[in-house]
Amino acid sequence: MDKLIEGYRRFRELAWPEHKALFETLAARGQKPETFVVACSDSRVDPQMIFNAGPGELFVVRNVANLVPPYQPDANYHGTSAALEFAVRVLEVKRIVVLGHAQCGGVSALLKGAPPGAQDFVAQWITIAEEARRQTLEADLPPDQQQYFCERCCVQLSLDNLSTFPWIAERVETGDLTLHGAYFGVATGRLELLEDGEFRAVPTTGRDE
């Protein structure tokens, strides 16, 4: 906890003075982000850092393997779906981005089975992506390529599941909402966007070749 407290103190000393007016405005007027991001809980994948976004710009939900379940309103608990509902129907975001990433532990659990210590919830959660697992196995890829392939399949699967939410499909149909898939390379820092069924690297202007 000491490290977190020290981080907070640096925030108050260095970042807070610079952003104080912005936070006061956000507190007074409320949030109005235009982008909702579904990202993985992985500690190496921070949407705010990747997109260089400031306070109030992104509404984010993070879960194991950046999965969106299908629309299923019932008496169970639906954290990701609740965040979607609030972002789309209350905040009226303009775009949803599903952000997958390399070396995803959730996708590894999907392909190889959840670890023994993650059977209460993780094992059931990742069954959402069973179709991505099936597609990966049917692709008949070498073992060292299966993870990479399946991570991208999970992004597409989550995008497909987003369309099962009637109030998302309606806003997409009217042009008030767009859906996007993205993939982040942890070791490379490169971002890819899903366009016309293919992941393509986002061009950069920096000298990072």
Pick the CATH number of 31-201 from 3.40.1050.10, 3.10.20.30, 3.30.70.60, 3.30.365.10: 3.40.1050.10
Map out the domains of the chain as residue ranges. Answer: 1-29, 31-201
pLDDT string in tens for the chain (209-residue length): 999 999 999 999 999 999 999 999 999 999 999 999 999 999 999 999 999 999 999 999 999 999 999 999 998 999 999 999 999 999 999 999 999 999 999 999 999 999 999 999 999 999 999 999 999 999 989 988 999 999 999 999 999 999 999 999 999 999 999 999 999 999 999 999 999 999 999 998 765 55
Residue 207: per-residue pLDDT: 57
Give the pTM: 0.93
Pairing status of strand 58-63 against strand 95-101: unpaired
Residue 48: per-residue pLDDT: 97
| Side-chain half-sphere exposure of 89, counting CA atoms within 13 A | 12
Strands of the sheet containing 191-195, edge to edge, are 58-63, 35-40, 95-101, 178-184, 191-195, 198-201
